[in-house]
Amino acid sequence: MNLTLKIWRQKDANTKGKMVDYPISGVEPDMSFLEMLDVLNEELISKGEEPVEFDHDCREGICGACSLQINGEPHGPDRGVTTCQLHMRMFKDGDTITIEPFRATAFPVIKDLIVDRSSFDRIQQAGGFISVNTSGNTIDANAIPVNKDDADDSFNAATCIGCGACVAACKNASAMLFTSAKVSQFALLPQGQIEATDRVLNMVRQMDEEGFGNCSNTGACEIECPKGISLENIARMNREYLSANMKK
Amino acid sequence: MSGMLNSTIARKVAMALSAIFLLIFLLQHFIINFTSVISESTFNELSHFMGTNFLVQFLMQPILIFAVVFHFVMGFILEVKNKKARSISYKSFNASANTTWVSRNMIYSGLVILAFIVLHFIDFWFPEINHKYIEFAPEDPTRYYGELVEKFHNPIRVGAYVIAFVLLALHLLHGFQSAFQSVGFNNKFTPALKTFGKFFAICIPLGFIFIALFHHFNQ
């Protein structure tokens, strides 16, 4: 396959970036998208040019490191996959592919296609945990009965890998799907009930402080989420938030 | 409760509650207006009641005006925050791949509806207030039907009403279910609610269009 890549290049956080065209040939349909970028970078390095910086780690769709807005969609045109799981067979010979970093005020660009997603870490740190006494008398988690439906919903929420595709897809750059998944995974379990009030209040406050937008319920986040996190989590978080405010 | 008023969730919930109130008002308004197609005397009786009842005039009407103003002002406040949340826009943003046009353009359909409400106030509300509370004109319980029919004589006004109600239908196609999602309603009844929402969003504005066209062509 011969392709033209239009890639966002930006030297650093303080420099203005621009789109740069890169023709690439010999791309195999079975390559992953990141392998295709590896090929491009090897060509650039061999020519003495600066390689394109992009985030990646596990390349198995479980770490949430890879990002990229590909042809106007986070993680590209395929559904239920991260960029590392996107294959070049999704494109046609002769295509022009636009590759940009995830765009949000709360996700500032560090370099080229790499953005700073530590705002997600701060939301998580604000309440996305449970406090457990580990001094020796900890109760075995399996000894606490949990309703099967709640356990399944909690597990589904916990599959969120925090990649930021929800923010990237949302027209408002809202982080409601991410935050609600992190709230839900605990809110649905007995272990999460003790700190439930403070958790949702603190996580929502941190989400707002980071500068993310509002949820307009367009559903873009749910469709683009590589893990299929449901909008039900946002409704649950809204209920939790209203309930927590009544208690406080 | 202190931080609640500044939170995005609280603002969206307040927005949704005002929307649900306006949905109920819209249904009530449609039912009364529709009687003008069936019976002139019934329409006059209902309009006279609504126009002279103390609770409707001095409790429900101020609440309604507050809800309308609040819904629009909060909509603009949320829109400003949303624009700030993405200060640098994408070169390529394939929004149609994952969202509907109506869900992305609520602010624009809302602006058309706002313009319509201004026209509607000029047409009906200001003359009504002038008639009752400024001129203190004697009440004629049979005047309402004639005033309604007279307004729909002008084809330009009828055209403006039709366009506004098409935009209202588009606004409600997303807004109806979205309001319930914002207040935390998402469960096994949501598919039925979505279906009912689409029915409401299409039938009520279509009914208003029918009323305008009926009186225009029936003169």
Residue A28 shares a structural domain with residue A138: no
Residue B117 structure tokens = 């409400």
Interface of A with B in 109-168 (CB under 8 A): none
B184: nearest CA partner in chain A: A235
Domain hosting residue A14, numbered range? 3-111
Does B85 sit within 8 Å of A248, measured CB to CB?
Answer: no
Residue A105 shares a structural domain with residue A128: no
Could you tell me the pLDDT band of residue A150, with boundaries at 50, 70 and 90? very high
pLDDT of residue A134: 82
Residue A176 shares a structural domain with residue A235: yes
Best to test chain B binding among A21, A96, A199, A214 (most B CBs inside 10 Å) = A214
Residue A146 shares a structural domain with residue A46: no
pLDDT of residue B3: 65
Task: Name the domain boundary from A77, A94, A111.
Answer: A111
pLDDT of residue A135: 82
Do B212 and B151 touch, CB atoms closer than 8 A? no
Best to test chain A binding among B79, B80, B99, B104 (most A CBs inside 10 Å) = B99
Minimal CA separation from B60 to chain A, in Å: 26
The distance from CA A165 to its chain's CA centroid, rounded to whole angstroms, is 4
Query: A33 at the B interface (CB within 8 A)?
Result: no
Residue A68 shares a structural domain with residue A147: no
A104: nearest CA partner in chain B: B86
Residues whose CB falls within 8 Å of the CB of residue A196, separated by 6 or more in sequence, listed in order: A186, A187, A240, A244
Average pLDDT in the A179-206 region? Answer: 96
pLDDT of residue B181: 97
Residue A175 shares a structural domain with residue A67: no
pLDDT of residue B1: 55
pLDDT of residue A133: 81
Per the structure, how many domains does chain A have? 2
**Domain residue ranges of chain B, discontinuous segments joined by +:** 4-82+103-217
Q: What mean pLDDT, rounded, does chain A reach?
A: 96
The 10 Å Cβ neighbour count of residue A214 is: 24
Quickly list DSSP for A177-205. HHHHHHHHHHHTSGGGTTTHHHHHHHHHH
Closest CB to A238 among B89, B91, B183: B183
A174, pLDDT greater than 80:
yes
Q: CA-CA distance, B186 to B174, in Å (whole number)?
A: 15
Interface of A with B in 10-29 (CB under 8 A): 19
CATH number of the domain encompassing residue A175 = 1.10.1060.10
A188, pLDDT greater than 80:
yes
A196, pLDDT greater than 90:
yes
Nearest partner of B215 among B119, B165, B145, judged by Cα: B145
Residue A241 shares a structural domain with residue A137: yes
pLDDT of residue B2: 55
Q: State if pTM tops 0.90.
A: yes
Residue A104 shares a structural domain with residue A175: no
Could you tell me the pLDDT band of residue A132, with boundaries at 50, 70 and 90? confident
Could you tell me the pLDDT band of residue A137, with boundaries at 50, 70 and 90? confident
Residue numbers in chain B where pLDDT is lower than 70? 1-3
Residue A148 shares a structural domain with residue A203: yes
Does B3 sit within 8 Å of A171, measured CB to CB?
Answer: no
A197, pLDDT greater than 70:
yes
Task: Name the domain boundary from A111, A136, A166.
Answer: A111
CATH number of the domain encompassing residue A43 = 3.10.20.30
Best to test chain A binding among B17, B186, B187 (most A CBs inside 10 Å) = B186
Reported ipTM: the value is 0.92
Residue A127 shares a structural domain with residue A97: no
Residue A30 shares a structural domain with residue A85: yes
Closest CB to B92 among A71, A172, A173: A71
Do A109 and A13 touch, CB atoms closer than 8 A? yes
What confidence tens digit (pLDDT) does each residue in A13-35 have?
Answer: 999 999 999 999 999 999 999 99
DSSP structure class, residue A32: B
Nearest partner of B211 among B16, B51, B37, judged by Cα: B37
Quickly list DSSP for A123-147. HHHTT-S-----SS-PPPGGGS---
Task: Name the domain boundary from A78, A111, A144.
Answer: A111
